[in-house]
Amino acid sequence: MTGSRHLKALAAPYYWPILRKEYKWTVRPSPGPHPTEYSLPLLIVVRNVLGYAETAREARRLISEGHFEIDGRVVRDYKFPVGFMDVLRIKPTDEYYRVVPVPTKVIGFVKIPKEEAAFKLCRIQNKTTVKGGHIQLNLHDGRNVLIRVNDPRNPVEDVYETLGTVQLSLADNKIVDYVPLAENNLVIISGGRNVGRVGLLKKVHRGMGVKRSVAVIEDKNGNLFQTSLSYVFVIGRDKPLITLPEAVWK
């Protein structure tokens, strides 16, 4: 075992549900759609979060046999990073979970109905213009969506703005809905000390870049709090597009 293939348990993100004092090493996530600090390796999800295995060997076997899907496709890499808004399916039981930010634990798994598992919310990280004048949306989970425009000089099809959220059909990667980063839209916080809190976006104080911009959020009790704009993830207009833990929304 080496540091390049494995990760010291004490160096893993604080919220990982692992026995740090019992084992020196833990699973290092593979390069993938989510950064290490905001994801869990699939093995830890199967063994430590969902409890489908008692040991790493059992978890690796179940994963290699193809019992788990992420966003509609079978994943056999036990190091695959599972992150925010991913849809996890347990094939033998036909159960579905969505990964959402939650207070304290950071990464939570919310059970969802099969119908809801057909789509995913993705935040627009940035936009680029590609050959032909078409617009490419670069999303938070590494996906790219091409918006074709008829006239590059007047791209009326491009209604999308950075930090807005698109609702994607997982079957064909098509945009079903778009919710912009706008006042009074519903957001969830994906990092920082307010991680997992849900509320209405009331105002944005722009700074030098997204990380230095501050968002003012109003929670369900009417309390205002502030967070970095980089942690704000739009999840709906007057109500959330996804199932949320009752503790943060009901």
CATH architecture of 7-83: Roll (3.10)
Q: What is the pLDDT of residue 168?
A: 97
Q: What is the pLDDT of residue 218?
A: 96
What is 118-179's CATH number?
2.40.50.740
Record: fold of 185-236: SH3 type barrels. (2.30.30)
Reported pTM: 0.89
Contact criterion met (CB below 8 Å) for 62 and 45: no
- For every residue of 191-232, DSSP letters joined together read SSTTTT-EEEEEEEEEESEEEEEEEEEEETTS-EEEEEGGGE
Residue whose token pair is 């969902």: 50
Q: What is the pLDDT of residue 155?
A: 87
Q: What is the pLDDT of residue 2?
A: 40
Q: pLDDT (tens digit, 9 = 90+) per residue, 145-174?
A: 999 999 888 888 899 999 999 999 999 999
Q: What is the pLDDT of residue 95?
A: 97
- Residue boundaries of the structural domains of the chain: 7-83, 118-179, 185-236
Say which amino acid occupies 242: I
Q: What is the pLDDT of residue 20?
A: 63
pLDDT averages per 10-residue partition of the chain, 250 residues: 60 69 74 87 93 94 97 96 96 96 92 97 96 94 93 89 97 96 97 95 93 94 95 96 80
Tell me phi and psi for residue 9, to 5 degrees: -60, -35
Half-sphere exposure of 140 (CA within 13 A, CB side): 25
